[in-house]
Structure 1
Amino acid sequence: MEALMKAVLSVKGKISSHRKLYEKNEEAVKQHLIGEIFLALGWDWNNPEEVRPEERTEDGRADYALILNGSVFAYVEAKNLGVNIVKRDEPLRQLARYCFNSGVKYGILTNGAVWIAVKAFEEGSSLKDRILLVVNLVEESPDRAALKLSFLSKSRITDIERLSSLLKALELSFSGLRREGYSEDVLISYLTSRKGSSTVPVFELTGSETPRAAYVYDNGWKLVPLPEQSMRGVLLAVLLYLAKRYPGRKGEEVMKAYEQVKRIPLAPQTALEALKRLEEEEKLRISVEI
């Protein structure tokens, strides 16, 4: 984070000193601002195995393609600083078309100061609904901007949906508790103190932990009772919760899975992998108190 923080401060300084240049010159934005941020995010900006400029798509050329494991993971579209990419829809729609027609799931739009990450396609959702992240390096504090930008790092970008979802949940919960009269200091103290036990997202678990309780996020965190203090117990609790939540055939299918798991022994690592798949497939967030 230290390198990213330095890059954020550097870019803010360049924009402050040379705004007129960046408002007219897209190439300067690419070279002076965007490249510096991506380098700090761990991308080898001059390595075509990681970053390819002017990537051809059916609808035109994306400014950059970010490559992971030999395949395009995200397109990056750059604009000059004079383009208000928050208020203007077309740049984001252009990026989404590049992604959709190439089967690329994610896109990043930036004018050097503002960064927007978007999921290119999802059935039944609007483009606005699929925005995962908006960062404004000029208007936001450097630490806040750096935290959100870190979701685009080479080591974290594959988890961008999960991370952005967790951050949104944190912001909503924090704001809600503030409205209920709890002070910021009290809430921060609560979040940073760990005495006796802690609640951990399942993607951070190793399988060796002993669960004390389990929670599912569904319009708020909900406790799901554990039939046993094990990863198998967490899996059973989540399956039972889903079986009750879904009506009709899907609920019946989940209940069958619950009964099957209930009858057989299950290694902790196997149960943990099943929980991670459930999170991804059902768009859930599951946390375990250990």
Structure 2
Amino acid sequence: MTENLIAFIDNLKNNLRLSSYSEDQTKMAIIQPILRRLGWDTENVDEVCPEFSVENRRVDYALRLNGQSTVFIEAKKPSEDLESQSHQEQLLDYSFRQGVDLAVLTNGITWSLYLPRAGGDWRSRKVTTIDLIEQETSNVASKFVDLLSKKNIESGKALHNAEAIHKSKLKEKAVQDALPESWNRIIEEPDSLLIELIAERAERICSYKPELTEVTKFFKRYQDQFLLLPAEEQLRTGERPRVKKREKSPVQEPSENLKISQDDLIPHLVKILRRHGGRASKEQVEKEIYSMFKSNFDHSWYQEKVSGGVPRWQHNLAWAKERAKKRGLIKRPSESGRGFWALTDKGMKFS
């Protein structure tokens, strides 16, 4: 099975006409041949049922065993953008309603596999993406067999494999989200052991041990330079976490009456989102917050680039949003959508 599949995928990689295929051509020349090589009888409509009726809609393919739908496949042409929210939500909606464990959205070249009955929005239910062109052929074939072969679907192994990948992704995301916050908490409220460790290391370097209060003041003085952006913002900026270069002297801090704490920003952030019906793009919120506190944020200290290469005011707003999320006022990114911030029911009532 695998060798035959590998040979077919290699041929597809060399097919320069793929991107110009229509949806029907994609089904006939890519999807059906792959299903056959995965052990499915594409000539048996009771096993591979095209245009399967789901309530008042149709799904392109239902892979069925013993009279039960096990996988739904929605097909598009190669030039179609699979990241369209309507495509994903529609597929997951009728998969969930029919009790189907696995769903696939594909344009022939890219195959996105989902667990429709998992929690969260469509993004959080995605298990993996298989790309016939970009990914190594052997890896592509291995994923197809693990997750979509008739043998593994029939035995339940495919669902087990998908759930294991999904669980691993959720765990990885939780850790990546927690690490910047854990670091920031250490910086904001340094543990006595850390303070003592730094004091001892300073003593080794200069032969004089600083007072623990001096070390604490050092943390407070350079706190904003040490703080990291939330993991979500690091991904958006595409930059690795970093601190200021040593040789750069810190910008003069503004007077206390010009300082706006992260907690101070939270009620204004909530009001802006409520004004937009509970959900707005991150850029829109930033624009309105900046306009609201322009006299404060125009100060060079707030314009100074900190971790992630973003201005301090933007960095502080990102963490204000994280703090609001921890308080249950703002939804997780998986619920609000990429690039958007949205209020929870608690947030809508917050005053």
TM-score (norm 2): 0.44
Match of 1:19 in 2: 18
Match of 1:161 among 156, 159, 171: 159
Residue 133 (structure 1) aligned with residue 134 (structure 2) = no
Partner SS for 2:150: coil
- The aligned amino acid for 2:23 is E
Match of 1:118 in 2: 114
Match of 2:326 in 1: none
Instruction: Tell me which protein shows more strand as a share of its residues.
Output: 1
For the 8 Å contact 2:112–2:128, the answer to whether it is kept is yes
For the 8 Å contact 2:26–2:107, the answer to whether it is kept is yes
Partner SS for 1:108: strand
Partner SS for 1:129: coil
Match of 1:4 in 2: 5
Alpha-carbon distance, 1:167 to partner: 5.3
Instruction: Tell me which protein shows more helix as a share of its residues.
Output: 2
Alpha-carbon distance, 1:162 to partner: 2.2
Match of 1:73 in 2: 70
Match of 2:143 in 1: 148
Partner SS for 2:129: strand
Q: Distance in 2 between matches of 1:44 and 1:36?
A: 10
Alpha-carbon distance, 1:11 to partner: 2.5
Q: Distance in 2 between matches of 1:113 and 1:120?
A: 21
Match of 1:245 in 2: none
Q: Distance in 1 between matches of 2:132 and 2:165?
A: 18
Partner SS for 2:63: strand
Q: Distance in 1 between matches of 2:94 and 2:162?
A: 22
Match of 2:104 among 103, 108, 125: 108
User: RMSD across aligned C-alpha pairs, in angstroms?
Assistant: 2.4
Residue 41 (structure 1) aligned with residue 42 (structure 2) = no
- The aligned amino acid for 1:18 is R
For the 8 Å contact 1:77–1:95, the answer to whether it is kept is yes
Q: Which has the higher contact order (CA 8 A, sep 6+)?
A: 1
- The aligned amino acid for 2:148 is L
Match of 1:62 in 2: 59
Aligned residues with identical type, % of pairs: 30
Q: Distance in 2 between matches of 1:168 and 1:95?
A: 18
Q: 1:48 to 1:139 in 2, by over 3 A?
A: same
Q: Distance in 1 between matches of 2:165 and 2:95?
A: 25
Q: 1:106 to 1:170 in 2, by over 3 A?
A: closer
Q: Distance in 1 between matches of 2:164 and 2:95?
A: 24
Partner SS for 2:128: strand
Partner SS for 1:139: coil
Q: Show CA shifts across 1:113-133 (max 9, x none).
A: 0011111123x4222222122
Q: Distance in 2 between matches of 1:155 and 1:8?
A: 20
Q: 1:11 to 1:130 in 2, by over 3 A?
A: same
Alpha-carbon distance, 1:91 to partner: 1.3
Match of 2:90 in 1: 94
Q: Show CA shifts across 1:163-203 (max 9, x none).
A: 23555789999xxxxxxxxxxxxxxxxxxxxxxxxxxxxxx
Q: Distance in 2 between matches of 1:3 and 1:114?
A: 19
Q: Show CA shifts across 1:119-165 (max 9, x none).
A: 1123x422222212210011101011111111210011232232235
Q: 1:161 to 1:95 in 2, by over 3 A?
A: same
For the 8 Å contact 1:114–1:136, the answer to whether it is kept is yes
For the 8 Å contact 2:114–2:127, the answer to whether it is kept is yes
Q: How many residues are treated as equivalent by the alignment?
A: 168
Alpha-carbon distance, 1:92 to partner: 1.5
Q: 1:59 to 1:96 in 2, by over 3 A?
A: farther
